[in-house]
Structure 1
Amino acid sequence: MPPALISPSENDYILRGVDSNIRADGRGRLDYRQIILETGLITQASGSARCRLGEGTDVLVGIKVELGAVELDGADEDVAAIKAKRGRVVCNVECSPIASQQFAGRGADDFNNELTQMLDRVLNGPQGGLNLEKLCIIPGQQCWIVYIDAIVLDYAGNILDTIFMTTRAALYNTKIPKTIIQDRGDGEIEFDISDDEEEWERIEGWDKVPVAITLNKIGSRHIVDATPLEELTTEAKLLVTVNKDGKVCGLQKSGGGSINPSLLNDMVQTGRSLGQSLIQSLDEMLQREENDINLKRARKERIEKLGFFAAI
């Protein structure tokens, strides 16, 4: 990606604002922009969601759940034995060139790969939340494969946090068919997939999927939900992944600057607290949206029923 530049005066303006806890857009150091969350936007997907940070960063995630073969490769026998009893999550993140000129050119591929690897490492890791064993249908043979495709439609900073929020919401919106296992008794196992959508269930563990909190060190302070100019002023970043129980699931430091131990501990605790609060707010949004959808569906069914009786 082409290097982005910031003038000394802009850099000084941001530093002074962060130090005074008054950022350029009026937020405090630990304030997020307004989060707008929608689900069920892609009819052909098993689940989908879209998340926007105010009028800025905009991410769309679509999830497709398909049958596939269990992953058996692996040099380590113990690892191979574990994978033989698990389903799979396959991630892909792309930043649309129309979102920002930074996402045009060959360098954008490296950035897309970096974001993809980060999401994949969390969701397929031990702290990813999803119960991958429940996605296995026949050990060593068949499983559900969860394909997660995220696309960044617009960019105004803080991409990674938005991707994790959107992915978690899309997983909430995703349901997989119920499978019925049949043992034929001759060592062969068969399975049927239920066509009754009322029996379909959410992926177990979706609620334990962590969110990402990116803390940007600017001067001697740190902020969250940075804008592009604030990201250019950032000396170092600390990514904290946190689940709904407030457990820190992972840490990753990036950037050329250093973080002293006392500030590092403060940033971790800030990320932990903000992450837990953010998940609570996101879950409340998802529940409200589902309640509204159920209410609209009930009204539609009632109107159709009344119309039927009127016709009689």
Structure 2
Amino acid sequence: MPVLISPAEREYIINGVDHNIRADGRGRLDYRQIVIETGLIPQASGSARCRLGEGTDVLVGVNVEVGQVDMEGDDEVIRERKSKRGRVICNVECSPIASQQFAGRGAEDFNNELTQTLDRVLNGPQGGLNLEKLCIIPGAECWVVNIDALILDYAGNLLDMVFITTRAALHNTKVPKTIITKTEDGLEFDFSDDMEDAERIEGWENVPIAVTLSKIGSRHIVDATPLEELTVDARLLVAVNKNGKICGVQKGGSGSIEPSLLNEMIQTGGTIGQHVIQKLDEQLEREEKETSKKIVRNESVGKLGFFAAI
């Protein structure tokens, strides 16, 4: 059953946004508090869990395994480039208990949309990860980075949280050191058993996050709640990295966005995204130091709370 909103509620939300006072007390460009935990899945190469306010809850596990390089494609140049790169495979699933709208067949389309968006950014030219460093033997074996995200609870702003949690999980991911030797039959490889030799995936720090800007009335907001999402005319996803560089833009919703407002929303997304990544990295660095002091890896739980007001 679709969630409905009354005309009075809609008017209340639009007027609040227009006056920069939202129902929960935030301004138009304020995020709810984000709580981050890393290293929650012992069997995974890396993992993270992020909770947004009292609602949206996302768990991401990263598994790194050896696989075949991707040699598909009609263009020889593309195949040659792929033969020297590792692979990233994304999968996002919404738990049916997270929200009514995730029950039944409707969840499949939603899962596909979230998966394709994450995959398009991470495998794009501005995805951040150095895929060439993940190649073990060109044309043969490579590291395959499997990213699995599970939506545990829903209270709006899913895409932003999926990207933030994925970035935190990649920070927590370690890849075993690869030892390559030449033999009469060609190249062979082995791995170091010492996990202290393992390293993070090169370029993880350049992985972008998403900032979803929602147009309500003549204004736009970030981190929309479920009720606010019901009043959205159009939304704009802006993928941005730690340097504030725009790595991708995707428009959603049936409404239009005026050119002048579009430019403003893109600039706002870049500024807010850079601020969010700075706070996220500060927390991840703090947590890592606390964990190393305790010796027990991933024991500590970090919290990140901030408001990205511009």
Written as runs of structure 1 = structure 2, the 5 A alignment for 1:142-153 is 142-153=141-152
| In 2: Cα distance, 1:206 partner to 1:65 partner | 14
Residue 230 of structure 2 is matched in structure 1 by 232
Superposition misfits of 4+ residues, deviation over 6 angstroms? none
| In 2: Cα distance, 1:110 partner to 1:102 partner | 11
Residue 56 of structure 2 is matched in structure 1 by 57
Q: Which has the higher contact order (CA 8 A, sep 6+)?
A: 2
Residue type matched to 1:24 in 2? A
| In 2: Cα distance, 1:76 partner to 1:147 partner | 26
CA displacement at 1:50 relative to structure 2: 0.3
CA displacement at 1:104 relative to structure 2: 0.5
TM-score scaled to structure 1, two decimals?
Answer: 0.94
Written as runs of structure 1 = structure 2, the 5 A alignment for 1:23-42 is 23-42=22-41
Unaligned runs of 5+ residues in structure 1 are 299-312
Q: 1:260 aligns with which of 247, 258, 261?
A: 258
CA displacement at 1:141 relative to structure 2: 0.4
2:84 matches 1:78: no
Residue 96 of structure 1 is matched in structure 2 by 95
| In 1: Cα distance, 2:35 partner to 2:106 partner | 30
Residue 215 of structure 1 is matched in structure 2 by 213
| In 1: Cα distance, 2:13 partner to 2:281 partner | 33
Query: Alpha carbon RMSD of aligned pairs, Å?
Result: 0.9
CA displacement at 1:187 relative to structure 2: 5.5
Where 2:80 maps in the other structure, the secondary structure is helix
Residue type matched to 1:259 in 2? I
2:244 matches 1:246: yes
The Cα offsets for residues 87-127 of structure 1, whole Å up to 9 and x where unpaired, read as 00011000001000000011210110010011011111100
CA displacement at 1:72 relative to structure 2: 1.1
Where 2:25 maps in the other structure, the secondary structure is coil
| In 2: Cα distance, 1:126 partner to 1:91 partner | 16
Written as runs of structure 1 = structure 2, the 5 A alignment for 1:295-306 is 295-297=293-295
The Cα offsets for residues 192-249 of structure 1, whole Å up to 9 and x where unpaired, read as 1000111000000000000000000000100000000000000000000000011000
Q: 2:189 aligns with which of 184, 188, 191?
A: 191
| In 2: Cα distance, 1:291 partner to 1:25 partner | 34
2:198 matches 1:203: no
CA displacement at 1:32 relative to structure 2: 0.1
CA displacement at 1:257 relative to structure 2: 0.7
TM-score scaled to structure 2, two decimals?
Answer: 0.94
| In 1: Cα distance, 2:11 partner to 2:146 partner | 44
Residue type matched to 1:274 in 2? I
Written as runs of structure 1 = structure 2, the 5 A alignment for 1:12-31 is 12-31=11-30
| In 2: Cα distance, 1:119 partner to 1:161 partner | 10
Q: How high is the sequence identity, in percent, across the aligned residues?
A: 72
Q: Which has the higher helix share?
A: 1
Residue type matched to 2:138 in 1? P
The Cα offsets for residues 253-278 of structure 1, whole Å up to 9 and x where unpaired, read as 11111111111111011000000000
